Amino acid sequence: MTNHENSGSEASGSAPGTSGSDAIAELLRLAGPRPAVPPHVQQRVYDAVQAEWHSTLRQRRRLRWGLPVALAATILLVVTLTSRAPEVRITPIATVALVEDDAGTLAGGLSLGDDIYPGDRVTTGKSGLALAVNNGLSLRLAAGTTATFDSMEELTLRSGRIYADTGQSVYDNRSITVHTSVGSARDMGTRFAVVYVDGDMSVAVREGRVDVSHSLGSYTAEAGEVLRLQPGEDIVVDKITIHDSSWDWAAALAPAFDIENRSLLDFLKWAARETGKELIFESDAARFAAMGIRPRGSIAGFTPVEAIGSVLATTSLEYRVDAQQIVISDPAR
C-alpha cells in the first residue's frame, strides 16, 4: 500500500507538502531556458495593450456623457417639433361704414363692411364713403378722393377732401394727422376738414382746434377758421360758420344714427350736430315729449335733414329747418 502511494505522488510531479507554485517552478526548470521574445513582437503586444486601454477609456467616457447628451438632443428635438414661429397678425384700422347713394363697390374694390389695413390706398371714385376707425374716430372721404392710411393715427391725402370727427368727447386716443405734400394737420379733439387739390391745401375747423404745419411755420386753427396753404406762401386765415354749406358733403356721409332704444331727443341732438344747426324747442312741453318718445325703425340712407322729416312724421311734433336752426314745436300743447 505504501509503495503504491509513493508511486502516485511521483507521477503527479509533486512531493508531499510541496505547494502548487513550487510545482510550476519545477516544471519550468525541467523545460529548460525559453527563447527571447523578438523586439517587434514586444512592440505589437505593447501597441495592442495601449489600444485596448484607450478603448476602455472611451467606453467609460461614453457611459459618463452619453446619457446627458442624448437627453439634451431629445429635448432639443421635442422643442423644435413642438415650437412654432409666432403668428404675425395685421389688425385692421378701420371699416367701411357707409357708401354714398348705396353705390356698392367703390374704385379699388372696396364695399360696405370691408376692412382697411395699414398701408392701404383708398380711392373713392364717384361715390364718397364713411369709415369707422377702430379707436372711435369717424372719417369721411368725399367723391374723387385718394388717401393712403399709414396707421390708425396718420394718413396721407393724395387728392380730394377728408372730414374727421373725434366724437362729442375728447379722448387722447382719438387723434388723426393728415399729411399732404404742402403740410400737415393734426387734430386736438375736433371736427375738421382737409382739402387738397392741385397742390393747394386748406384746413377748416368746425369744432375744437387743429395744429397746422408747413414749410414756413406752424399755426393753431380754432373753431370757425379756415387755413389756406400754398407751397412757399404764408398761411392765409379766413372765417367759416359751423353751419356753412361747405360742410354739407360731410353731413351727407354721416353714418346712420341707431334710433333703437334711444329717445327722440338723442336723435335730434345728433341731427343738429351733424348739420351744425342749433336745436331749439319752442316749449318745455315739446322738449319733454321728445325726451319720452322712443322712435323705431331705421334711418339708413337718409341725410340728417331727411331723417328729421322721416322720424318726426311718426310723432305729434312738428319741425322746421332753416339755415341756422332746427325748431321743434308741439301743436297739441
Residues 76 and 105 both lie in one domain: no
Residues 219 and 302 both lie in one domain: no
E strands present in the chain: 94-99, 115-116, 121-123, 129-133, 138-141, 146-149, 154-165, 177-179, 183-187, 191-197, 200-207, 209-214, 217-222, 225-229, 236-239, 278-281, 318-321, 325-329
For residue 264, being part of any structural domain is answered with yes
pLDDT band at residue 111 using 50, 70 and 90 as cut-offs: confident
Domain span at residue 66 reads 21-88
What does pTM read for this prediction? 0.70
For residue 14, being part of any structural domain is answered with no
Cell numbers at 1, concatenated? 500500500
109 compared with 209, residue with greater pLDDT: 209
The residue from 223, 248, 273 where one domain ends is 248
Number of domains into which the chain is organized: 3
For residue 311, being part of any structural domain is answered with yes
For residue 321, being part of any structural domain is answered with yes
Residues 53 and 75 both lie in one domain: yes
Residues 287 and 203 both lie in one domain: no
Q: Summarize pLDDT for 67-104 with one digit per residue, the tens.
A: 554 555 555 444 444 555 566 678 999 999 988 765 55
Q: Summarize pLDDT for 125-183 with one digit per residue, the tens.
A: 888 999 999 988 999 999 999 999 999 999 999 999 999 998 765 555 678 999 999 99
For the segment 110-136, the average pLDDT, to the nearest whole number, is 90
For residue 8, being part of any structural domain is answered with no
**CATH at 300:** 3.55.50.30
Q: What is the pLDDT of residue 68?
A: 56
Q: What is the pLDDT of residue 135?
A: 87
pLDDT band at residue 272 using 50, 70 and 90 as cut-offs: very high
Residues 182 and 165 both lie in one domain: yes
Residues 179 and 232 both lie in one domain: yes
